[in-house]
Chain A
Amino acid sequence: MRDFLLRIQNLCLGFQTEAGYLRVLDNVSLDLTPGETLGLVGESGCGKSVTAQSILRLLPCPPSRVEEGHIWFDDKDILKLSQSELQDLRGNRIGMIFQEPMTSLNPTMTIGNQLAEPLRLHRKAGAGEARAAALDVLKRVGIGNAEQRLNQYPHELSGGLRQRVMIAMALICSPQMLIADEPTTALDVTIQAQILDLLRTLQKELGISILLITHDLGVVAETCHRVAVMYAGRIVETGTAVQVLTDPQHPYTRGLLAASPRYAKKGERMPAIAGQVPPPGKRGQGCPFAERCPLVMDICATMPPLQGDEHKAACWATKT
């Protein structure tokens, strides 16, 4: 029995819209152990970001609603926390990094002030103490002449530097867990590699758990211990990174792998998965991938369970 830092159990969540209630997450279960990096993969509209936001309960409520499920963090159900307990959790024990470093920093505050913000909130730190901690964490995320950076505004920094500042801000209270929502998507390739490298080093040094959301399987291969593949609001395959990337069980994972440049054959046209993710509300009783699936069978009209031991997949065609 492994001990878990974060455990999402059968999370069902949806939004109340003008067209009625739409379920967006369907029976999502995830585990994250201390010191581990879990990759959450899937194409746009699969529910990756919603899953991440629901962990910190950042979704406005209403219109969002949790139908059932639990999010256990350190033996406490996040879904049952009070507003003040929640604020104590955010930024203090769970840090979060967003996709767009350009817009995730407040343009009217200096880097120093923004970095100090979590410390002032959670540690009631004074100005001097916060400044020292900010310098320290800036050096840790590899920012040179930190002293000068503290007095600069976000628009004076490049995209890569801003993402480093975001990471520094998420780490400044030494959280146990980091949620990174597509941290490298908005950056160019060389900077991407640097940021991933940084995340890996930080994890080794600090032993934090990382939930890394991405649509890039290459990123997963480089940084993650385990992977969960999401499709249409469901987890369709999970396992160690090696298992999932070298021996994918679900046809969707296979499609994703075939479509990523790293695994495609040279000189051939890159394959793509035909069709689109069915939008919430148009997901029937059966396997949501059925209409795009090359292996579709009669039994796919009923929902396949997520089965297997360490390496699980939700597909009727999987050999078990």
Chain B
Amino acid sequence: MWARFARDRAASVGLAIIILFTVAAAAAHWIAPYDPTEQFFDGLTLEGAPLPPSSRFWFGSDTNGRDQFSRLLYGAQTSLLIGVLANGLAVAVGTLLGVTAGFLRGLTGAAIMRLTDLMMAFPPLLLAIALAAILKPGIGIVIVVIALVNWVQIARVIYAETTGLVNREYIEAARAMGAGPWRILWRHLLPHLVPTVIVYATLGIATTVLLEAMLSFLGRGVQPPTPAWGMMIFESQSYFLNAPWLVFVPGAAILILALAFNLVGDGLRDALDPTQRGRT
């Protein structure tokens, strides 16, 4: 399987990008030229406008005179953490609930699906604001809110797919062979859901980072001065015409990361698909 994945050039590039970003985020402390929260006197023009990219500030400086490159590196920590954890949590919860509801059906299934309907009807921002009012705003809240918002769609899709799968003959054959319900669920049903789960997991990365941006914008997400990519875009969007690099740089980072995850997801899906075996 890994050999097949390695042969997939696009997926390998994607994986390389993810590793690069992760290493950069982990080593931000040593790589970053400056402290991400330090405001420089020479970081702004005399009129108080941010500086374009130069040899001193590689990606320019932001509206507070802070180094954009350093903020991007430190922001990668926050954004990757949120992207991977929140999204992973959402995928795990959604898959588990969806597959359970689809497999058991009956009263339990109905209860789970009505819960997802309820969650679907609940506005995510309201949820975030309510939660942040109870708890201290911060990365933890962002992760919980994003997971709470995102698991619903995954649960729906997985539920629909599971109800289709449980009626397949090989599931009945597994039952006729003496397999208990849990074994059928783990060994015979879940492997078929892997492609769908992978697609959702990779698609979710980009939306997760953007949701983080939205929450941060409302003051309910990552708290300044901690940098995060989504927040960096929102902080600077009103200066877009005067200082486009402030939006483009973190925007490009989000785009590249999302793309890399999608490439890896595609590659994994193909590598896991037994019918693709032996084809190149």
Interface residues of A (CB under 8 A from B): 56, 58, 83, 87-92, 96, 98, 100, 103-110, 117-118, 121-122, 153, 155-156, 166, 169-170
Contact = CB atoms under 8 A, between A and B. Distances in A.
Contacts of A110: 274
A117 B172 contact: no
Contact of B178 (A92, A98, A103, A156): A92
A117 B169 contact: no
Contacts of B187: 109, 117
B192 interface: yes
Contact of B177 (A107, A108, A117, A155): A117
B105 to A, nearest CB: 9
B277 A106 contact: no
B274 A108 contact: yes
Contacts of A100: 169
A170 B173 CA distance: 10
Interface string B58-81: 000000000000000000000000
B275 A107 contact: yes
A164 to B, nearest CB: 15
Contacts of A156: 277
A91 B275 contact: no
A106 B178 CA distance: 15
B170 interface: yes
B277 A153 contact: yes
Interface string B126-143: 000000000000000000
A42 to B, nearest CB: 21
B183 A103 contact: no
Nearest to B173: A104
A156 B279 CA distance: 13
A56 B169 contact: no
Contact of B274 (A87, A88, A96, A153): A153
Contacts of A153: 274-275, 277
A103 B170 contact: yes
Interface of B: 168-170, 172-180, 183, 187-188, 191-192, 274-275, 277
A107 B179 CA distance: 17
Contacts of A98: 169, 172-173, 176
B178 A104 contact: no
B210 to A, nearest CB: 34
Contacts of B179: 87, 91, 117, 121
Contacts, number: 72
Given A103-B169, A104-B169, A107-B275, A91 B176 contact: yes
Contacts of B173: 96, 98, 104-106, 166, 169
A88 B180 CA distance: 10
Contacts of B274: 107-108, 110, 153, 155
A42 B277 CA distance: 42
Top 7 A-B pairs ranked by shortest CB distance? A91-B177, A91-B178, A90-B178, A96-B176, A153-B274, A108-B191, A103-B169
Nearest to B175: A58
A118 B177 contact: yes
A87 B178 contact: yes
B190 to A, nearest CB: 9
Contact of A155 (B183, B192, B275): B275
A270 to B, nearest CB: 31
Contacts of A118: 177-178
Contacts of B183: 121
Contacts of B175: 58, 90
A108 B178 contact: no
B178 A88 contact: yes
B176 A103 contact: no
A71 to B, nearest CB: 15
A172 to B, nearest CB: 9
A58 B178 CA distance: 10
21 contacts: A58-B175, A58-B176, A90-B177, A91-B179, A92-B178, A98-B176, A103-B168, A103-B170, A104-B170, A104-B173, A108-B191, A108-B274, A109-B187, A110-B274, A118-B177, A118-B178, A121-B178, A121-B179, A156-B277, A166-B173, A169-B177
Contacts of B277: 153, 156
A152 to B, nearest CB: 9
Given A91-B177, A121-B178, 10 more contacts: A91-B178, A92-B178, A96-B173, A96-B177, A98-B169, A103-B168, A108-B191, A117-B179, A153-B277, A166-B173
